[in-house]
Structures are given as C-alpha cells and as structure tokens.
Structure 1
Amino acid sequence: MHVRDLVGESVAGMLARPVRSALTTLGTVLGITTLVVTLGVAATAGNQIVGRFDALVATAITVEVPESDGEPMVEWDAVERLTRLRGVESAAAVAESKDSANLSVRSNDLVDPARVTLRNLSVLAATTGLPEAARGRMTQGRFYDTGHIRRGDRVAVIGDQAARMLGVTQLDRAPAIFIGEHAYTVIGILGDLRRERNLSSAVFVPPTTAARFGLRDVTRVLVNTSLGAAGLIAGQAPAALSPANADVLQVVAPPSPTRARDQAQNDVDALFLILGLVSLVVGAVGIANVTLVTVMERVPEIGLRRSLGAARRHIAAQFLLESTLIGLTGGVIGAGLGLVIIVAVSAAKQWTPLLDGWLAAAAPVAGAVVGLLAGLYPALRAARMEPVDALR
C-alpha cells in the first residue's frame, strides 16, 4: 500500500464517523490542555513563589552589636549613614536588654477586677525607621519622629498584640500606659509584621527616654536590602555603622536561597506534572476504547481488505495512523487552548506568564504519541484477524 493511499484511508476512516472522532479528539484535547495548563501555571506560580521567597528572606540582614563597658560601639544616628548605601531600602537601630524584657506595663492606674490591665511586656528603644525595617505598618496612629526623640517626649508605640493584651483599642483620646511608674502616651499601634513578629507584643519608646529602663546602647540593627544586594551590604554595614569597631560587629546575613528555591520549584513542577499526566492517561484510555470499538464495528471491512490482498501490516498501519491523527489533532488544539488559558490566568492574577517554546512544540507531539500508543492494541487485534473469520 502506498503511503498516500494509507493516509487517505486513515482520514476517510476518521471522517466516516465525525461525531465519534470529534468526541475522541475531545478527550485528547482535554488531556493535552490540562498538561499544558498545569505545567505553564506551575512555572508561572513557581516564579511568583520564588520571587516572594527572595523578597522576604534573601533581603533581611541583622547586625548584632556586642555590649561595651565604655563608649557605645554604634551610635543611634549611625543608621543614617547606613541608609545612604546603595541597595539599602530601610534600616532601624534597636536597643533591648534582659532587664527590659519583662517590665510591668499597665494601661491605666485603676484597679478593675473585671479586666486584667497589668502585663509583663518587653520594652525596646528604636529609631524612627522601625516600621519599615520590621516590614510592618501602623494600623493606628503613627510612629514617633525625630522631634519626639530630640525633645525626649514620653510617647510610646505598642505592637498590635500588646494593644490587645492591654485593652488599648482607640487612640483618639490619647490613652496612657504606665511602664513601671512612668507614664507614656500611646500615639500608635504597630502591626502586620512580616519580620521580627515577636515585636508585636512589645512596647517601643524613643531612645532619649529609654535610659531609665537600662536601654542606652544599640544592641542590633535591622536592615532590609534590595533583591540581590544582601551579600554586598552585609560586608559594608559594619564599616558604615562603626568604622572603629567594624571587625567586632556580627552580621547575620541570609544564606543563599538558591538550593531551597530550586527545591520548591521542582516540587511544584512535579506535582503539577503528575496531575497533567493523569489527565493525559485518561485521554489515552478514551482513544483506546473508541479505536477498539471501531475495530469491532469494521470487522467485515477488515475481512474484505484482507481477502483482496491487504497484508497484516497494512491493516495495523491504517488503524495506528487513524489513532495517531486523532491524537495529533487533539494535541494541536489542546496546546493552543492551554496557552490561551495560561495567559488568561496570569492576566487575572497580575502575574508574568512563563511560556516555554518547547512546551508548545512538544504538546502536539505528545498528543500524537498518546494516540499511537492508545491505538497499538486495537491495531494489533485488527491485524490478527483471519479473512475467513472476519467475513463469516
């Protein structure tokens, strides 16, 4: 049989039952579409996960300042020099000590048996850039500014968890809290912390009023950098904060996230690949079932062709080509439909779609291979039929 005749017979066999061929092709379309969508969405979503992972982990630096018996190693205004470095997005100096980690704080000076207003909370001194350095926001009020620090105002900012513990819910009447015997006016509530979440249960006061709590010297500096600048800033930060004590300051920089990032990406890709393959197997089973039914319905035709001289390989090739064409058609349609869905999902989520060229090219090939494998058993069964038995 000539190749042209073989293709003609296969196409004629497909078009002889258009509805059945369309439904069979639909199974392959769904399988290929699911495979393309899952792989494409996995790559796009994985890219978003990696980006957020890098932004939240690979850009946070902490500079630990050891205790000093004499002059402080890092001055409070040294943070201004640090923020001038290219790649530093925000920074804040913090002072904390063992003595200030468990101070008595109450929200009023009255004894209310119905509500607990006395708590033991951590009290810290911090510079004005703490909300940005801790990656949080002021849920109410505002953070104290340089004016409060210069004047030594008795103002305080409390974390959102500390506010709930003390029963401070509104700031319109300038509520006061008592740290020991010292009264402070609450001007803001800090919440939604994505870094240093333990600070949500702390009280922050200006450095100029924190000496009475033993908070005189900077103990650590929180730094946030641009993506990719963490390593460079980690080497420059000690010299910017304290040139004379740069070798004493300890910098805690994030480890390279490459291995964890790649592992997360591979896990996501593997999960979605399994889901896509399952859908593809379902489509292959559909092709195999329909092809087998077609073989059983065309037994007289097979017997007639065999009696007229068609060899076993001709019969097998005809049915294999039919199933392969069905799979190829479904692969082409499924690839196009899958790419459209990936772009639509990315646009809806405001993501950047990742479309691999090999995926669009391999999808039709995968459909053809699935069709070929699915039609293998029905084609062999058709080829094994004896002409006499088929005609009988």
Structure 2
Amino acid sequence: MGFRRSTRGDRPPTFTFADLLDEAISGIVQRPSRTALTALGIVLGVGTLVAVLGLTTTTANQISQRFNVLSATEVLVKAPEDTGGDDGAGSSRSLLPEDADDRAMGILGVVNAGTFRTVPADFVGKISNTSVDPGGYQDIDVVAATAGFFDAVHPTEVQGRVFDRGMQERADRVVVLGVNAARRLGISNLDRGPAILLGGVPATVIGILGDTERRPEVLSAILIPMSTAGDLWPTPAGVAANEQMLVDTKMGAAPVVARQVAFALRPDNPSALSVTAPPDPHALHDNVAGDLGQLFMILALVCLVIGGLGIANTMLVSVLERTPEVGLRRALGAHRKHIALQFLTESGIVGTIGGLIGASVGAVTVTVVSVTQGWTPVIQPWAFLPAPVVGTLIGLAAGTYPALRATRIEPVEAFRR
C-alpha cells in the first residue's frame, strides 16, 4: 500500500517521496477516463491563456502594421464655414479654395488629396430609383466630393468608374454609389445605365464602390461631383458647408504635411483650418495591446477558474468514492499529512499534465489562426514557458479542499460504508 511499518514499535510508519509518487500515479492510472476529464479543464484553461496571450500580441502587431500603412499616411483638414465673406455682405463660402486639391498636391510627400462634404438631407429631398421604389429615401447620405477624393480613399472592387476632373469641371449630373447604397436602391449592375432621382433631379449612376481602404462610411452613401452639388443645392448664407480634405501622404511624411497644408491652402489665414495629424504609432500599438490584453486576460482567467473548479469537483468525488481506501490506509498507520500529500500530489500531477498539453494546444492555435489569416504568429516566451507551472499551481489549489476532506476520514467510519 506504500506504507512501511517499522519492525520496532517506537518508530512511526515511513512514507518516502518515492512512495508518494507511486501511490499518486497509481491513483491516476487506475482511473484513466476520470483523469483525462479532470485534466481537460486545465488543458482548456491553460490552452486558452496561451492562445489569448499569443493572439493578443499577434493581433496588436497586425493592427499596428495596418495603422502604419493607412492611418500613419492620412492627414485630415477641416474647414469651418466663413459666414462673413470678404465683402462683408453676409454671403457664405467655404474656407477651402476651389483649387484646394491642386495646392495640396504641390506639397512634397503628398500622394493624393481630395475634398468632400456631406450635403444636408433636407437640401436633397427624397432619393429614389423610380423603377424599384417610387417612395424614395431620405436617410441615404449624399457626399459631394472632388475627383481626387477617390484616389485618397483607395477604392477597390469598383464596378463601372468614378467621376473624373472633366465631369467635375462640367458639373455633370453623375453619381457613384457605395455598395450598401446601391443595394438599398435596388441597383446591382450598370448594364442598362441606371439613374436615380435626387429630390426629383435625375442623375446617372456611373459606378459602384465595392470597398474602400479609408472612409468606409461612403459605402452607404451617394457620391456626386462637388461642382454638381453646388449647382443643385447652393449653401445658403449662415449654413455651414463643413468641407473637409483627405490627404494621402507617403510613409513618414504625414507630420510634415500636417504642418504645411494649412499654409498651402490658406496662406492668408492658416489658423482658420483645423488639421488632424496621425497619432504616434508606438503609442497606438501600446494602447491596442493593453486594451486587448486586459479583455482577453479576463477571458483566460475565467477559463482557468472553470478548469480549477472542475479539478476540485472531480477530486472531491474521488475522495468520496475512495473513502474505504483512505480508511484502510489510516488503519495501516498512515498519518493525516500522508493522505493530504497523496491527494495533493495527484491533483498537482494532473495539473502539470494539463498545463503541458494546454501550452502546446495554445501555441498550435495561435500558429493555425495566424497562418489562416496570413499573419506572423507572435508568442512571447513569458506566455508559453510558465504554462506548465500555472497548471501545477491550479491543480494544487484545486486539490487542497478535497485533500483536507480526505484527512477527516476516520478508519471506523470508512469501514461502515
């Protein structure tokens, strides 16, 4: 049974470390199914912990790279409305000049630049495709934009075409639909040259945007040349046009462009323009990693707690089932501490096994997800190497109460069952 009673009556029974391991391993091996189910909780908990930490680091790295490619090359210029005008007559005009795109393109480091504004819905009126829905809509945004705006947002999956500078200069009544706006208007292709009504004014649909790398809100909007919008819906005095300019820069040029663009657009009054430069990418990376880490760490800890409770519950049931065995060991001279050590060792071994398997499962999960998404997997050593130790500690913590419960079993009561 693992206990060796001394031949001399004055010596207590001996229980060596080898005996402890032998009894613990025997208890685990004799119940393989239960041991596997018990270890499964730790496998899931530790595996989730490793996977979460690895995926957090990996996704934060990918988000940082995405930021570097897009947001780090984006400068936004906002122009509040000038309601006074140079002539003092109370006319309303935008602070952005008509040749704003060309002025911005003249700055070293600028790749694309485009001006845009949202036309108020009450100016436009009802929007409809009369062949599908004569009732029309008033909740589809109409965005007036220059031709350079499309280059700045990097459209992809374009059906048809976008309007060019010639259409803009002629104030052609043409529109480009975002894919969501096209779906609502019942337009799926351009084979028959569809047209829509903007407050009763017809406009030909020349293109549909399937996706954009910037300004995804335009996918639910109707885009119309800036000059056309000015002719159809002139901005009354005192009403803000709220024009903005999106500037696409070369990598690393955004901070310099942000300092120069206001002077290029309005050398007479650069302070009238609001310029937003991209934030520091390192600070963004740290913030993203911190936010994701906190969120996923809570999830991982919940999984670990559930795994620990599973071990505690299984070990407690095991103690109850093995009451006669514990009573026999006590009758042969085993001390309470020997019983406690045996059950703690069993739960510790199960936790260690679960930690080892869980760490491997977590690492494989991170690798598979990263390869599937085309990412570079990133697993920090501090998230992987301590996993078996974490499993052992959880096993020991979960086995503490069952072990103490086993020590309270008296031999006489055990044999009565």
- TM interval, shorter chain, is 0.7 to 0.9
Are the aligned partners of 2:348 and 2:393 in contact in 1 as well (CA < 8 Å)? yes
The one-letter amino acid of 2:18's match is G
Which of the numbers 5, 14, 18 marks the counterpart of 1:8?
18
Which of the numbers 101, 107, 112 marks the counterpart of 2:123?
101
Give TM-score, length-normalised by structure 2: 0.69
Distance 1:267 1:273 in 2: 10
The 5 Å alignment of 1:174-323 reads: 174-176=193-195, 184-190=203-209, 192=211, 195=215, 197=217, 200-205=220-225, 207=227, 209=228, 211-213=230-232, 219-223=243-247, 234-252=258-276, 262-263=290-291, 265-294=293-322, 296-304=324-332, 306=333, 311-323=335-347
Give 1:365 shift.
2.0
Q: Identity of aligned pairs, percent?
A: 34
Q: How many residues align?
A: 382
| Residue 116 (str. 1) matches residue 134 (str. 2) | yes
Give 1:94 shift.
1.9
Structure 1 residues 134-185: Cα deviation after superposition (integer angstroms, max 9, x where no partner):
5654653110123444566554324456545665544223344566787654
Distance 1:105 1:324 in 2: 69
More divergent stretch after superposition (361-370 vs 348-357): 348-357
Distance 2:98 2:248 in 1: 18
Are the aligned partners of 1:328 and 1:364 in contact in 2 as well (CA < 8 Å)? yes
What runs of 5+ residues in structure 1 fail to find an aligned partner? none
- Taking structure 1 as reference, are residues 206 and 287 closer, same or farther at Cα in structure 2, changes over 3 Å only? same
Distance 1:97 1:177 in 2: 16
The one-letter amino acid of 2:367's match is V
- Taking structure 1 as reference, are residues 132 and 385 closer, same or farther at Cα in structure 2, changes over 3 Å only? same
More divergent stretch after superposition (272-281 vs 185-194): 185-194
- Taking structure 1 as reference, are residues 241 and 299 closer, same or farther at Cα in structure 2, changes over 3 Å only? same
Give 1:64 shift.
1.7
Which of the numbers 74, 79, 83 marks the counterpart of 2:101?
79
More divergent stretch after superposition (43-52 vs 5-14): 43-52
Give 1:319 shift.
4.1
Are the aligned partners of 1:24 and 1:287 in contact in 2 as well (CA < 8 Å)? no
Please name the residue that 2:148 is paired with.
129
The one-letter amino acid of 2:134's match is V
- Taking only aligned residues, the RMSD between alpha carbons, in angstroms, comes to 4.7
Are the aligned partners of 2:25 and 2:346 in contact in 1 as well (CA < 8 Å)? no
Please name the residue that 2:159 is paired with.
140
Please name the residue that 1:38 is paired with.
48
Please name the residue that 2:238 is paired with.
none
The one-letter amino acid of 1:38's match is T
Secondary structure of 1:129's aligned partner: helix
Are the aligned partners of 1:123 and 1:205 in contact in 2 as well (CA < 8 Å)? no
Distance 2:184 2:246 in 1: 26
Please name the residue that 2:90 is paired with.
none
Give 1:92 shift.
1.7
Give TM-score, length-normalised by structure 1: 0.73
Distance 1:264 1:331 in 2: 23
Distance 2:406 2:125 in 1: 87
